[in-house]
């Protein structure tokens, strides 16, 4: 696609839809919101009018409140017509939480294979206390003994807490596929880093993109490393995805994101997302002039100390940035006597 002069980032819709309401952001496409019980207190979902029914993109958490909101939407702004298809951009609970609920009412689930496999695995994986591997991950990251004890003795978040059971069976989409919804043809383009094989949908008939969490305005998607793959390098995957998607981005495309407000100016936003992480990596390298554990790297990364409810998200993102530097050959690591990785800048 041909790029146009940089016009900055704009938000054509200044106010989000109220709970139980909808805003038509393009012909046949409704913007809805579901509440989340956390600092980021909402997720955007979209209803695409297919005539005799709806395709919805992402779902919100599985909760009594969310199901009631959806029932009100189905009876109200969705005009009593059924949801026939659910497209899930990625496997995170706020996006796939009610997919199984819709499936139980006859909807088809459409998502990438990686998203379905992760979600299906996690929804069946419940634990009363953290697994030894999860505790070891925290120790390697250098959390304090007091925090480690609290973590080890507290019931962890379980995917099934907020995700409805997923029955066997889904329809796979992959990078480069096309599908039809709301009278448009959509090209599937996948990104990585925030979630593996995250699907975004790019209209082939007008300048519209359903961006999920791969394309967000103003805030950064969490890029984290987890006990399932402790040496992963999702930040490099994220940066590569930004570069890959930039080839198709133009300033007039209206991006419908998973959180915050729809926006235009995607080429600039993709550059910002990459530059923000590169800047954080530069600050982190400077911070590692002396050995540090991952839990002591929040200030150079986020420009503030982080505790309490945000600590876990900050920790996994800290490890992601450290792993990226390790793969670039800019830092080394060694185990402390307490079993934590000590990270240090490599000097010439």
- pTM higher than the cut 0.75: yes
Tens digit of each residue's pLDDT, the chain (348 residues) = 334 455 699 999 999 999 999 999 999 999 999 999 988 999 999 999 999 999 999 999 999 999 999 999 999 999 999 999 999 999 999 999 999 999 999 999 999 999 999 999 999 999 999 999 999 999 999 999 999 999 999 999 999 999 999 999 999 999 999 999 999 999 999 999 999 999 999 999 999 999 999 999 998 999 999 999 999 999 999 999 999 999 999 999 999 999 999 999 999 999 999 999 999 999 999 999 999 999 999 999 999 989 878 999 999 999 999 999 999 999 999 999 999 999 999 997
Long-range contacts of 101-109 (CB under 8 A, 24+ apart): 101/59, 101/62, 101/67, 101/164, 102/56, 102/59, 103/166, 103/167, 103/169, 104/164, 104/167, 106/82, 107/82, 107/83, 108/84, 108/171, 109/166, 109/169, 109/170, 109/171
List domains and CATH numbers for the chain. 23-126+156-282 (3.60.15.10)
CA-closest candidate to residue 44, choices 105, 94, 108:
94
The CA distance from 168 to 53, in Å, is 23
Inter-residue contact 196 to 232 (CB < 8 Å): no
- pLDDT of the residue at 6: 55
Res 4: pLDDT: 44
Q: Say how far apart CA 233 and CA 65 lie, in whole Å.
A: 37
pLDDT at 348: 72
At residue 37, the pLDDT reads: 93
Q: Of 299, 295, 294, 301, which Cα lies nearest the Cα of 280? A: 301
Residues 57 and 49: their CA atoms lie apart, in Å, by 11
The answer to whether 62 touches 101, Cβ cutoff 8 Å, is yes
> What's the CA gap between 188 and 173, in Å, rounded?
7
Nearest to 323 by CA among 284, 266, 269, 290: 284
């Amino acid at each position: 696609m041909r790029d146009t002069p940089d016009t900055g980032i704009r938000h054509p819709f200044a106010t989000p839809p109220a709970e139980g309401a909808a805003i038509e952001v393009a012909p046949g496409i409704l913007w809805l919101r579901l509440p989340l019980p956390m600092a980021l207190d909402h997720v955007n979902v979209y209803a695409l009018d297919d005539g005799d029914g709806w395709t919805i993109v992402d779902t919100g958490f599985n909760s009594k409140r969310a199901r009631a909101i959806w029932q009100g939407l189905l009876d109200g702004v969705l005009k009593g017509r059924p949801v026939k298809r659910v497209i899930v951009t990625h496997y995170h609970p706020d996006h796939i939480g009610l997919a199984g609920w819709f499936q139980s009412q006859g909807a088809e689930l459409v998502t990438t294979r990686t998203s379905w496999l992760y979600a299906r695995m996690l929804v069946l994986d419940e634990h009363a206390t953290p697994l030894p591997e999860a505790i070891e991950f925290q120790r390697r990251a250098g959390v304090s003994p007091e925090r480690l004890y609290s973590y080890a003795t507290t019931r962890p978040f379980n995917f099934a807490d907020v995700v409805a059971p997923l029955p066997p069976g889904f329809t796979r989409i992959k990078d480069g596929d096309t599908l039809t919804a709301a009278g448009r043809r959509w090209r599937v383009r996948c990104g990585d880093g925030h979630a593996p094989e995250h699907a975004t949908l790019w209209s082939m008939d007008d300048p519209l993109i359903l961006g999920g969490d791969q394309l967000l305005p103003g805030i950064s998607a969490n890029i984290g490393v987890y006990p399932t793959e402790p040496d992963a390098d999702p930040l490099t995957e994220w940066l590569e995805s930004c570069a890959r998607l930039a080839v198709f981005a133009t300033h007039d495309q209206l991006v419908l994101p998973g959180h915050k407000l729809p926006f235009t100016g995607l080429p600039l936003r993709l550059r910002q997302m990459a530059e923000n992480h590169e800047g954080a990596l530069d600050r982190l390298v400077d911070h590692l002039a002396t050995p540090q554990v991952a839990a002591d790297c929040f200030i150079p990364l986020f420009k503030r100390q982080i505790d309490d409810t945000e600590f876990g998200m900050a920790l996994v993102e800290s490890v992601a940035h450290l792993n990226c530097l390790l793969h670039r050959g800019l830092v080394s690591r060694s185990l402390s006597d307490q079993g934590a990785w000590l990270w240090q800048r490599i000097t010439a």
